[in-house]
Structure 1
């Protein structure tokens, strides 16, 4: 079966790249050689033209320098260097906007998601799926607390929102060019990619797999960061917490009225003396807690609105480096970028001299969220 049709603008010629693999990373120098080797082995076996798009989210351990050296001698590589650490969601956005393949795969550099599953994902795409979502059957190398919290979080999020995010899934997935184009139409700056993937809909295939431990290095996530991401997901795709706050306020008010009625009746009918201090402190403490929770929830949504209103770009690019050609260039295809034949690779650097023939936005994949400087 042939791959799904490309958008109209791309039908005039065969795309130079059939598959783009996006690898966002932060300080992963130890694992990048292994990651690149395993990706090469898998992708070379597909008999497809491909590119590997590495996105450096502000690394300081020599990761970018390692990849820059490989780009000079190897085909099919692209390196996007962000100006600082913008976060994984921004790094994935950058990779998606610069990927030029007919299908796009997102893969973490730590290799917990095995690249050996990419052929299965491509097969599902060729059978008609616009999104191939990888669902974790097991999570090796993760603590019971992280597994339990992830289990509870995804089920809570799906109860709160209508996005229909598949439980136990991450960013490891394949998207067709149609799905990528739909995703790039979403304009928000505060981005929760798992929810955005689900929101666009389109035919989706789910494949179960066993997640591996990290191949090398240590995780860059901590529980505070995961909690922040969880709150981002809830507030991005649901207003249920605001309704809950309203319900909590109503319940507190009714409880206060009921408590007042009970005290009044006991005083009038039984003649009991009212001991005001303990009950007053308890009521004030309870109501103060309700008010602070409500204000905090309102603050989350107001803060998100404020961040969106500033219209800042999702990320800033320091530079873009490309290999001269896509790997396994097929007959009749065209290279995705012009390069300096003497150097063997192309470099887009806003700090350097102006390029004589800058590639078009359609070819570089630059989207509405990117800013070169």
Structure 2
């Protein structure tokens, strides 16, 4: 009898105690419609402060053998670390990435599997709208993707999500990028490969509240932008040229004014404006350079992306607490 190919669904979790049993049940039902595959779940608990880890262990204990695996972090390392840990520790033939709140409809896995069987290395989900989302958040999201595409060499499609099914070849390519400050959406786009997009309507959370604040999303966007864009550093050169040209034009104006009027005005206001203008530009540029230096500093430290306090990865791995 031919051995079934394995699909593992990686689910990063942070304070999602209400959603954990719901997402398990939904995936369990979808798995029944994929009899030719062995479907399992890998929960990655990102240092939750609620009962998420207890719920994960509870689900694991009542699930079928080798159906539910998990990793629990020693503290909150962030979603990017959770995604990396899930991809790194899964040995399945195909790996899916899905949020725990059921905003990524598990039923789409059926279409994703068809896409993989057609020969695609990756099959991803793309939202066609943002119904139920604050307008300002939607506007900033569209602005981010537009700027990221124009100012980097990586094309990131509007509406794309982390939700996708990937081949082992695709995941290995993603893991080969060993940087510590990770922006997975950008990495997914950067590695290339043929990707089939499946469009879907935005779905509300099944339970609980979002853990993303506007400031958190803004920091996430800035980190993602700086992970792939060198445009700010290159823009500093262009800005320097612009300021130099403005200074030369102003200098010529002063010289001509002296020749025509035969005198020199004190120009206190204009001098103060020039000092403050140039000073603010210098501080801005130092801030941009500082951000890039901070990322270099963190990379050089070579700290681990995450630290696990407990894990259950497959039937041959003992649970460690």
- Aligned residue in 1 for 2:34: 46
Number of equivalences: 318
Candidates 211, 224, 227, aligned match of 1:233? 224
- Aligned residue in 2 for 1:57: 46
Candidates 141, 155, 164, aligned match of 1:150? 141
Partner Cα distance (2:269, 2:2) in 1: 78
Q: Could you tell me how far 1:14 is from its partner in structure 2?
A: 6.7
1:348 aligns with 2:319: yes
Runs of 4+ aligned residues of structure 1 deviating over 6 Å after TM superposition are 13-16
TM-score with structure 2 setting the length = 0.94
Determine if contact 2:60/2:68 at 8 Å carries over to the other structure.
yes
Candidates 25, 32, 53, aligned match of 1:37? 25
Gaps of 5+ in 1: 1-12, 323-335, 339-345, 352-373
- After superposition, the CA RMSD in angstroms is 1.7
Q: Could you tell me how far 1:160 is from its partner in structure 2?
A: 1.2
Determine if contact 1:50/1:101 at 8 Å carries over to the other structure.
no
Aligned pairs for 1:167-206 within 5 A: 167-206=158-197
Secondary structure of the corresponding residue to residue 215 of structure 2: helix
Partner Cα distance (1:208, 1:200) in 2: 22
1:73 aligns with 2:62: yes
Determine if contact 1:71/1:321 at 8 Å carries over to the other structure.
no
Partner Cα distance (1:184, 1:16) in 2: 25
Q: Could you tell me how far 1:272 is from its partner in structure 2?
A: 6.3
For residues 274-313 of structure 1, give each alpha carbon's deviation from its aligned partner in whole angstroms, at most 9, with x where no partner exists. 2421101111111111111111111111111111111111
Aligned pairs for 1:90-101 within 5 A: 90-101=81-92
Candidates 113, 117, 136, aligned match of 2:108? 117
- Aligned residue in 2 for 1:363: none
Distance 1:147 1:15, change over 3 A: farther
Determine if contact 1:17/1:100 at 8 Å carries over to the other structure.
no
Candidates 3, 16, 20, aligned match of 1:28? 16
Gaps of 5+ in 2: none
For residues 59-101 of structure 1, give each alpha carbon's deviation from its aligned partner in whole angstroms, at most 9, with x where no partner exists. 0110110110121121200111011100000000000111122
- Aligned residue in 2 for 1:219: 210
Determine if contact 2:21/2:59 at 8 Å carries over to the other structure.
no
Partner Cα distance (1:14, 1:253) in 2: 71
- Aligned residue in 2 for 1:337: 315
For residues 83-130 of structure 1, give each alpha carbon's deviation from its aligned partner in whole angstroms, at most 9, with x where no partner exists. 110000000000011112211111011111211111011110111000
Partner Cα distance (1:211, 1:46) in 2: 25
1:292 aligns with 2:286: no
Determine if contact 1:141/1:214 at 8 Å carries over to the other structure.
no
Partner Cα distance (1:188, 1:156) in 2: 22
Secondary structure of the corresponding residue to residue 43 of structure 2: strand
Q: Could you tell me how far 1:263 is from its partner in structure 2?
A: 2.0
Q: Could you tell me how far 1:264 is from its partner in structure 2?
A: 2.3
Determine if contact 2:115/2:196 at 8 Å carries over to the other structure.
yes
Determine if contact 2:81/2:306 at 8 Å carries over to the other structure.
yes
Higher relative contact order (CA 8 A, sep 6+): 1
Partner Cα distance (1:70, 1:114) in 2: 20
Partner Cα distance (2:147, 2:51) in 1: 39
Q: Could you tell me how far 1:166 is from its partner in structure 2?
A: 2.1
Q: Could you tell me how far 1:171 is from its partner in structure 2?
A: 0.7
